Amino acid sequence: MSAESTVDEIVLRLAADRWLAHQFLFPHRHPDTSPPAHRRAVLILHGSDTRHVLQAFRGFAKSTYTEEAIVIEAALRLFNNKLIAGSSYDRACERLAAVKREIEQNEVLNELFGNLKGNLWQENKIVLASGICIQALGRDQSLRGTKHFDWRPDSWLIDDIEDRETVQSPGGRKKTMDWLLKEFLPALSDPVTSRGRVLGTPLDPESLVVELEKMGWPTTKFPIEHMDGEGQRASTWPAKFPLWKIDVIKEDYRRDMQGFRQEYMCEAVAETDRVFAREAMRVEPRVRTWQAVYAMYDPARTTTRTSATTGKAVWSWINNRLVFWKIAAQLWKPDEIIADIFATEEEFHPVWIGFEKTGLSEWALQPIRQEAARRGIVPPIKPVDAPRGKLDFIRGLQPYFAAHEASFASSPDEDALGQFLSFPTGHIDAPNAAAYALLLRPGAPIYDNFSEESIVDDLEPQQNRPVFIAVNAGGGFVTALLVQAFDGQVRVLAEWVREGAPADVVADIHMEAGLAGDVSGTRTLGGGPRNYHEALKLPEVRTQLVRLPIAWRAPPHHYDQWNNIGLVQAVKRVPADIRRGAAESVGRDYLRERLSRLAHGLPAVQVDARARWTLNAFTSGYCHAIGRSGVVAVHAEDGPYRVLMEGLESFCGLLVGGLDDEDADKGKNFQYDAEGRRYQSAMPARAKR
């Protein structure tokens, strides 16, 4: 305004332009550049609506502008008796104290309007020199005595009348509404035309500000951020709350996004609206033994504050109960995701490690393969289609937690737990990874009679007993099992699962098994069966060799002249002896029967505890396929487990008729020399006990 402007001209301009009045009279209260939202809020505060509900995020300065509006309207004599109501007497008096301070200390205000202070200047009630009254009271105070001379309150403000305690129960919410309708409004000079504003936060879907909106009261909301005209995130107050700062606030609320929605997005959320209640997220300590494990990664490719996290879940289905061994939400870089996949494989040996299909094909598959080649192991990665309707997909977990049929074996990652409790707002990557447990779960196992008794720690080969490699190939995999069969027992000593063509990987399996000749070889006693090629490099391991007679057996279809993938040819090029196995169906019946028996007081089928592919296959990986209609098929589900187990079944089929034509050699005493060669001893054969 120009220096030549008279006081009356300035007052008239301020009365006509309320936004200008706020900026001119109270610059000391506006240190940050005001956004357009503040101008809109000021127009609402001074608007002609007799009633209006204003919801704004915490820190929006709605109280600041409301206090200023009271001072301006009092100076312009636009009301006679102003009533300020708060959640408590002290809160209401705080608002009045700010008004009093401006009237007392604002030099520009006093220069334009003169000394406004009157003779009555109390904590809860003031009367200006003009006779205008402003008074404050708490929600639970009586409204008697609010009349000033002949004036009942003709202007009013209800400021955050509710708190979290009062909205917790339906009774508390009803009490507040009854107070407004039955006590507060009737005490006004006119319950319909008296001008008033309600400031509040939607602390519950049935809180006062929400109910007033439902009743048709004009309502305006100012969340901390919104979408601009181009569909991009935009801050409502960029000068004070830029997007980076909003992201920091969100991070603080990551374990309670409902609170963020209420305080900063003006969204009504009830505690009962939580899909995953805190009390349902139970921790039931449990030690994992042999249970089949599944894992899922919901990956993020960036690690900024605005990016999604990578969700990870590791679980088992135990007697139709869902147990999460690990669950996490991390800002991992792509290489850290890959490293964690292999750490999970090393710790849990999952049946499958699910990975979102698009991310796998676009960026993850090649680094996984490179790391697998470096480590000499094949993680069981399973591409998984992202679900349609992700929120409903995640909600599918809720009944399991609510019925106490899902639990955590140990305390979950705090960020992951926060995502569950805040669902469906905020990051949902950990709950999404966990929800795949409803899809990645055991099918109908081929061997439903497999039990923990068949798992043996450090199962070692028996001297002077034949050892076989049950080999198979298909679907891009080559599998091999080191097996002994004698005295009614089938013993799986070691395993190999490799990706690639037989011509490319058979020689490596030969080396790792320590083959040294056509039917003789070695097996290391050190190192797990998943890292033989590494163990063989160690001097202390090379000194621990047991010479064993080894022969290869492969399913019959690999001998089809016109339909084979070169497995038999690859083994012969080693060179090694390989012979035709029996039909898989014959061995399947034999193996199923053996699983229910003991042989010499021991389980008839024994598997080394380190042979995790085989154990996973027995427990759930080797299962009946499920058709699109949901019907269980007779054949097994395709994949490495089927390849592995059909190789074993083909070998076991030979046991029905006797390995190496043993039926024709009954009564003869066959032994093996130091080089592993079979010969007939002149000594009479001893009867088997």
Q: What DSSP assignment string belongs to 147-190?
A: -BTTBPP-EEEEES---TTTTSSHHHHHHHHHIIIIIIGGGSS-
Asked if pLDDT for residue 606 goes beyond 90, the answer is yes
Please indicate, yes or no, if residue 33 is contained in any of the structural domains.
yes
Main-chain phi, psi angles of 385, to 5 degrees: -70, 135
Of the candidate ranges 71-85, 213-227, 646-660, the one whose mean pLDDT is the lowest: 646-660
CA distance 148 to 131: 9
Give per-residue burial for 486-514: e unless 16+ CB within 10 Å, then b: eeebbbbbbbbbbeeebeebbbbbbebbb
Please indicate, yes or no, whether residues 464 and 534 belong to a single structural domain of this protein: yes
Distance of CA 148 to the CA centre of its chain: 60
Q: Are residues 287 and 346 in the same domain?
A: yes
pLDDT band at 578 (very low <50, low <70, confident <90, very high): very high
Residues 423 and 457 in one domain: no
521 within some domain? yes
- Is residue 387 within 8 Å of 393, Cβ to Cβ? yes
User: Is 646's pLDDT higher than 60?
Assistant: yes
Using an 8 Å Cβ cutoff, are 582 and 650 in contact? yes
**Could you report the per-residue pLDDT of 299-354, keeping only the tens digit for each?**
976 545 445 689 999 999 998 899 999 999 998 999 999 999 999 999 999 999 99
- For residues 351 and 292, give the distance between their C-alpha atoms in angstroms, rounded to a whole number: 6
Q: Where are the beta strands (DSSP E) in 204-346?
A: 219-222, 225-227, 233-235, 294-298, 310-318, 321-330
Q: Do 410 and 472 share a domain, yes or no? A: no
Q: Quick check: 687 pLDDT over 60?
A: no
Q: Is residue 471 part of a domain?
A: yes
My answer on whether 421 and 470 are in the same domain is no
527 with 653, same domain? Answer: yes
Range of the domain at 35: 7-232
Q: Residue 305: what pLDDT?
A: 46
Domain check: are 365 and 399 in the same one? yes
**Is 491 found in the same domain as 418?**
no
Whether residue 272 lies inside any domain: the answer is: no
What's the confidence (pLDDT) of residue 518? 29
Q: Is the pLDDT of residue 546 over 70?
A: no
Mean pLDDT of 112-127: 95
Number of domains in the chain: 3
Whether residue 135 lies inside any domain: the answer is yes
Instruction: Using alpha carbons, select from 434, 300, 405, 409 the residue that is nearest to residue 347.
Output: 409
Q: What is the pLDDT of residue 283?
A: 94
**Percentage, residues of the chain above pLDDT 70:** 87
Of 25-34, 45-54, 188-197, 303-312, the poorest mean pLDDT is in 303-312
DSSP state for residue 660 in the 8-state scheme: G
pLDDT at 203: 86
Give the confidence band of 52 by pLDDT, cuts at 50, 70, 90.
very high
> Which of 215, 232, 249 corresponds to the end of one domain?
232
pLDDT at 521 over 90: no
CATH of the domain at 81: 3.40.50.300
Instruction: Examine the pLDDT at 251 and tell me if it is beyond 80.
Output: no
Looking at residue 278, the DSSP 8-state letter turns out to be G
Q: What tokens were used for 175?
A: 């009490």
Q: How many CA atoms lie within 13 A of 45 on its CB side?
A: 30
